[in-house]
Amino acid sequence: MRVRDVRFPTSRTLDGSDAMNPDPDYSAAYVTLVTDGGTEGHGFAFTIGRGNDVCVAAIESLRSYVVGSDLDGLDLGEFSRRLTHDSQLRWLGPEKGVMHLAAAALINAAWDLAARRAGLPVWRLLSGFSPQQLVDFVDWRYLTDALTPAAAVDLLTDAFPGRGTRTAQIAAEGYPAYTTSAGWLGYDDAKVTRLAREAVDGGFDMIKLKVGADLADDLRRFRAARTAVGPGIHIAVDANQRWDVPDAIDWMRELAPLDPYWIEEPTSPDDILGHAAIRAGLRTAGPSGGPIRVATGEHVHNRVMFKQLLQADAIDVVQIDACRVAGVNENLAILLLAAAYGKPVCPHAGGVGLCEVVQHLSFFDYVAVSGELSGRRIEFVDHLHEHFVDPVSIVKGRYAAPTRPGFSAEIHPEALSRFAYPSGAEWA
Amino acid sequence: MRVRDVRFPTSRTLDGSDAMNPDPDYSAAYVTLVTDGGTEGHGFAFTIGRGNDVCVAAIESLRSYVVGSDLDGLDLGEFSRRLTHDSQLRWLGPEKGVMHLAAAALINAAWDLAARRAGLPVWRLLSGFSPQQLVDFVDWRYLTDALTPAAAVDLLTDAFPGRGTRTAQIAAEGYPAYTTSAGWLGYDDAKVTRLAREAVDGGFDMIKLKVGADLADDLRRFRAARTAVGPGIHIAVDANQRWDVPDAIDWMRELAPLDPYWIEEPTSPDDILGHAAIRAGLRTAGPSGGPIRVATGEHVHNRVMFKQLLQADAIDVVQIDACRVAGVNENLAILLLAAAYGKPVCPHAGGVGLCEVVQHLSFFDYVAVSGELSGRRIEFVDHLHEHFVDPVSIVKGRYAAPTRPGFSAEIHPEALSRFAYPSGAEWA
């Protein structure tokens, strides 16, 4: 196991700027699993700069659970539980924050390794498991009041017969995307207008804008974007946790005439009841008296929180993140919960490599879990892909199906070296 | 700022063992703030062993927010927000897990320092602030749907006239306690029986037992304890997050004839709706058809979670922890919320120094916030106090009021040296 602190100086151009994160340096606590056979597994925790070193330390604290594992006997369900259930390390969460980001990096690296050994992209590897095998990958603790393993097997069994058809279809057509690249808070109106037009010209039917710092600015930028793309294109807005509950409702009522497709992260990601209150407060606030959707998830720290967001009917859109919860296994739990509650999953992406990794989960979800594309899109943000060995490919507003073995998580060695923090050429 | 990794080998005697934590080594990521004037401030994150080094790294990551501060101009509200709102570090939570434990250590150390400079124990320092000053120490973000700063000022103003009387009373009489020392899961029945009798003989009217690993064992141990202490003594039970929601209800119905005073941490600390369901499921489960109370808090990671536990009426007892949330300031928010919702606060303690520190918050709560003792007790666990410069003093089942300036958080230099990990004499 090798761990690296890698940081990209994105704050220099305000890429990624929003109401809570004015100057992120997109970073990865990057882990490589090295094996006797030569195959490697790659994974990472995504951070926005300071604290990336704390994630590196957290990954190191899990070393004894990783190094020396016998690959041939490796059960990825057991491996995942091993990393999240050390009784002493669990005290630091449980199952949240830095330790959970560390577990995610390692669990995803193990899946990358398993998929490379199988010669398949992760989404195809996952799509080949039986319903019972998939259910056995999940840690069911704390979930059974909402979904039992048996009910999950039933759900997956119902979806089983269509897997072949859907695999062929999604491999040919790709998965719908939307783009956030037009709407960072640090961009001026002219840049937003230009990028919004380019997005629509490129085939996207949905874009997203950052809001929440200043209402007058938000109205002006939203109007500019709406004028640029016209009424037929979805425009979601994202407040990045900026508001208290009453503020979120008031602010969104002001933006409502511009037809926001959803409001993302209106308040604290911990506030399940707050999201439910906001959703209720916006139920008839849309321009034709319809609802404004509520979305969250990129900072929702584990399956227990997603469970409650669904139980409380607090959100309309489930935004999984490939690296926030404990990797593939916990995201599998969340995909199953979302399917059981009939809510669409629109993954959070961007950052460093989040598009690359999370696309596999959405392709798999369509093939083997929800079987649905309606209302589903993967976020796309157009930066840092050039550093990846198997970067995403966007064709006419859709993610093309990954074809290379693994999880598309590997960063080029030259980039790992150049952006190493603090010793790499970019930082030295 | 100096940070140390200090670990006590408590796993050798199974002190502190429970259904989720079979072999804790009680530990502290211990921070000392050194000032030009010579006065020091002491604080710590409490952990149970592995991962204490990750907390040390997290405290180090906050160094630039601490070192160089001008003490005379230091606003402890601003200082607290500074440590929890770095936009890049916030990504690692927000406000949870390792980074929040680190913030707690530093914020509590700053309060220790401020109290020493004022020549007062922290509870008396806090009790001397005006309602508006206290409210200004709190980060109100995400709270205003449940409690506004203005309503908090009103609440504190209502309690203001009685402060002097209550200060005199509590300084003379001490604060009620209960003890967990009798009930660790690793203790056999004879030890539980002996320690339970000793607790009652020593003046405690409440003890707590660990449960949740095996129902037959729990019934046998609970019966032994009940026989030892008789029907007039409260016996709470603590499952340390062991159960799913349906299991918690079933298991507690089995224990109900033995009259459990409360069930603590029945399930995931993140599961607000789960606690509400368990509480509803146990509403008439007590031996006379009354409720079995539900308690949680030691792992509830911030004020937003406590807010929801209160909004959902999910718990009967609010268990603050001095070092889990972001120190004095966030605990002040939680005390205010608990008072506003009329719920008693019974702090979690034990570990390393948690008794020493949290007692100040309960004394202050009685004097200036809730003005109530009914249903309130501070947990007491009888180990590791000998390592503290200003250890707690228990007199006839009550905490004696701390009298020395500061937060009672300082560990003797000899102990810091002997238990330093991994280089100290105890570990080398």
Q: Answer yes or no: A234 catalytic.
A: no
Nearest residue on chain B to A87, alpha-carbon basis = B21
Cβ pair A388, A354 in contact under 8 A = no
Q: What digits encode the pLDDT tens for the residues A376-401?
A: 999 999 989 999 999 999 999 999 99
CB pairs under 8 A between A and B: 190
The per-residue pLDDT for A179 is 97
List B residues 191-230 in contact with A (Cβ-Cβ < 8 A). Answer: none
Q: Does domain B162-405 have CATH number 3.30.230.10?
A: no
CA distance B410 to chain A (A): 22
Sorting pLDDT into bands at 50, 70 and 90, what band is B15? confident
The per-residue pLDDT for B398 is 98
Contacts of B311 in chain A (CB under 8 A): 273
List A residues 283-302 in contact with B (Cβ-Cβ < 8 A). Answer: 299, 301-302
Query: Which CATH number applies to A162-409: 3.20.20.120, 2.40.50.140, 1.20.1050.10, 3.40.50.300?
Result: 3.20.20.120
The per-residue pLDDT for A87 is 93
Mean pLDDT of A252-262: 98
How many helices and strands in chain A, by DSSP H and E? Answer: 16, 12
Q: Does A16 touch chain B (CB under 8 A)?
A: no
The per-residue pLDDT for A14 is 74
Comparing A74-83, A322-331, B5-14, B97-106, which segment has the lowest mean pLDDT? Answer: B5-14
Q: What digits encode the pLDDT tens for the residues A6-17?
A: 999 988 877 777
Nearest residue on chain A to B45, alpha-carbon basis = A92
Contacts of range B68-72, beta carbons closer than 8 Å, 24 or more positions apart = B71/B35, B71/B37, B71/B113, B71/B117
Distance CA A45, CA A83 (A): 14
The 8-class DSSP code of residue B300 comes to -
Q: Is the pLDDT of residue B23 over 90?
A: no
Cβ pair B362, B402 in contact under 8 A = no
Sorting pLDDT into bands at 50, 70 and 90, what band is B181? confident
Six-digit token string for A141: 């603790």
The per-residue pLDDT for B36 is 95
List A residues 260-279 in contact with B (Cβ-Cβ < 8 A). Answer: 267-274, 277
The per-residue pLDDT for A304 is 98
Q: What digits encode the pLDDT tens for the residues B309-337?
A: 999 999 999 999 999 999 999 999 999 99
Mean pLDDT of B129-147: 98
Q: What digits encode the pLDDT tens for the residues B159-174?
A: 999 999 999 999 999 9
DSSP result, B30-59: EEEEE-TTS-EEEEEEEE-STTHHHHHHHH
The per-residue pLDDT for A185 is 83
Q: Does A154 touch chain B (CB under 8 A)?
A: no
Mean pLDDT of A160-175: 98
Residue of A208, A301, A348, A387 marked catalytic = A348
Residue of B96, B100, B275, B348 marked catalytic = B348
Contacts of A305 in chain B (CB under 8 A): 270
Could you tell me where in chain A the CATH 3.20.20.120 domains are found?
162-409
Residue of A208, A210, A343, A387 marked catalytic = A210
Six-digit token string for B268: 């995931």
E-assigned strand segments in B71-227:
175-183, 206-210
Q: If you average pLDDT over every residue of chain B, what do you get? A: 96
Distance CA A364, CA B97 (A): 31
What CATH fold (topology level) applies to the domain A2-147? Enolase-like; domain 1 (3.30.390)
Whether B92 and A100 lie within 8 Å, measured CB to CB: no
Identify the residue with better confidence: B343 or A72: B343
Could you tell me where in chain A the CATH 3.30.390.10 domains are found?
2-147
Cβ pair B424, B412 in contact under 8 A = no
Contacts of B24 in chain A (CB under 8 A): 87-88, 91
Nearest to B273 among A241, A244, A311 (CB): A311
Nearest to B98 among A90, A97, A301 (CB): A97
Q: Does A368 touch chain B (CB under 8 A)?
A: no
Q: Which of B88, B306, B324 to mutate to test the interface with A (most CBs of A within 10 A)?
A: B88
Q: Pick from A141, A174, A131, A77: which is nearest to A397 by CA?
A: A174
Q: Is the pLDDT of residue A192 over 90?
A: yes
Residue of B96, B210, B360, B387 marked catalytic = B210
Q: Which of B11, B98, B334 to mutate to test the interface with A (most CBs of A within 10 A)?
A: B98
The 8-class DSSP code of residue A63 comes to G
DSSP result, A129-175: S-HHHHHHTS--TTTTTT--HHHHHHHHHHHGGGHHHHHHHHHHH-E
Q: Is the pLDDT of residue B216 over 90?
A: yes
Q: Answer yes or no: B210 catalytic.
A: yes
Whether A305 and B270 lie within 8 Å, measured CB to CB: yes
